[in-house]
């Protein structure tokens, strides 16, 4: 499935999350998706994104939460359905929005809970979402620089105006 569709599904699921545990599970779903998009772009994305994308693919893995988080349920991470990232800029922009929404939702859960374990799980997930969002913003900056430095006609996929003589 294309990245943008998975991100939209994640945003929809987060908006519909009814309990604190549902929100935490959706946070880890979003983190797993960020890792999958990072892995895909590290292998198949524009050359200037590959290093940052590799870093995105590794965030959260050391925490032991993604993709083995028990809150992800029997279906596992939605990210396992990722097959392509058609438009990296659009996908990264949407992913950044999802990660921002996840962070806000997690702060709400962390502030409302009296359970220490849930609180610390939220803090870990907030850290992962924030770190992932930093990588996403870095990749968007690199894409913006690439577009800025590209000759105007090359950005439109043309060699020059039709019928123009040299």
Q: Residue 29: what pLDDT?
A: 95
**Model confidence, pTM:** 0.83
| pLDDT reported for residue 75 | 59
Amino acid 68: pLDDT: 46
Is-cis flag, bond preceding 51, omega within 30?
no
Half-sphere exposure of 2 (CA within 13 A, CB side): 9
Report pLDDT for 65.
Answer: 44
CA–CA gap between residue 152 and residue 163 (Å, rounded): 17
CATH class of residue range 3-152: mainly alpha
- Domain range list for the chain: 3-152
| pLDDT tens track, the chain, 166 positions | 999 999 999 999 999 999 999 999 999 999 999 999 999 999 999 998 999 999 999 986 544 444 445 555 555 789 999 999 999 999 999 999 999 999 999 999 999 999 999 999 999 999 999 999 999 999 999 999 988 887 776 555 554 454 444 4
Q: Supply the pLDDT for residue 146.
A: 86
């Amino acid at each position: 499935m294309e990245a943008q569709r998975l991100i939209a599904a994640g945003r929809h699921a987060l908006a519909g999350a009814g309990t604190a545990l549902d929100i935490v599970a959706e946070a880890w779903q979003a983190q797993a998706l960020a890792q999958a998009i990072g892995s895909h772009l590290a292998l198949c994305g524009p050359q200037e994104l590959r290093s940052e994308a590799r870093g995105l693919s590794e965030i959260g893995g050391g925490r032991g939460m993604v993709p083995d988080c028990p809150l992800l349920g029997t279906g596992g991470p939605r990210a396992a359905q990722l097959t392509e990232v058609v438009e990296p800029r659009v996908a990264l922009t949407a992913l950044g929005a999802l990660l921002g929404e996840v962070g806000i939702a997690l702060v709400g859960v962390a502030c409302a809970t009296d359970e220490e374990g849930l609180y610390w799980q939220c803090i870990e997930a907030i850290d992962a979402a924030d770190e992932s969002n930093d990588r996403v913003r870095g990749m968007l900056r690199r894409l913006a620089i690439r577009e800025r430095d590209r000759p105007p006609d090359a950005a439109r996929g043309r060699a020059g105006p039709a019928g123009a003589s040299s």
